[in-house]
Amino acid sequence: MRLPDSQEIIDDIAFFDDWEQRYQYIIDLGKAIPGLSDEQKTSDRLVKGCQSSVWMTSRIDEGRIQFDVDSDAVIVQGLLALVLAAYNDKTPAQILAFDIDGYFTELDLERHISPTRGNGLRAIVGKIQALAKSATR
């Protein structure tokens, strides 16, 4: 399964009638992410501030940042897919210009995830934005 872009996800989420279906869609998106090998799940790649374990690696390829992520929780893996749809394979300038708060608002996400998951989501976004800022220097 190809990971849809952020606008496709907004359109797809709007299609579902209830949050049970939306959660299943988000979980299915997470299953489309290849994840990381056990060897790649090192403490230095662990994202601080997440309730579940989240690992992230990044690299710059032809001016675009590529992210690989993994989590030990299926719903978090799905939330990571939402973030990747917004940020993966983008230039640092595109990452910094993307309205992530508007994206999450359109998905109506923060009203439907726990505060601790919301904090974790913000930690992941913060780490990605910090990487993008450091890549523009």
CB contact set of 46 (below 8 Å; sequence gap of 6+): 53, 54, 55
Largest CA distance in the chain: 44
Domains of the chain: 6-135 (3.90.1010.10)
The predicted model scores a pTM of: 0.93
Query: Which is nearest to 9 in space by CA: 89, 68, 80, 86?
Result: 86
Among the options 26, 29, 47, 50, which is catalytic? 50
pLDDT tens column, 13-67: 999 989 999 999 999 999 999 989 999 999 999 998 878 999 999 999 999 999 9
pLDDT band at 3 (very low <50, low <70, confident <90, very high): confident
The mean per-residue pLDDT over the stretch 93-121 comes to 91
Q: What is the pLDDT of residue 1?
A: 57
- Is 50 known to be catalytic? yes
- Asked if 65 contacts 134 with a C-beta cutoff of 8 angstroms, the reply is no
Return left, alpha or beta for 134; rule: phi > 0 is left, psi -120 to 50 is alpha, else beta.
alpha
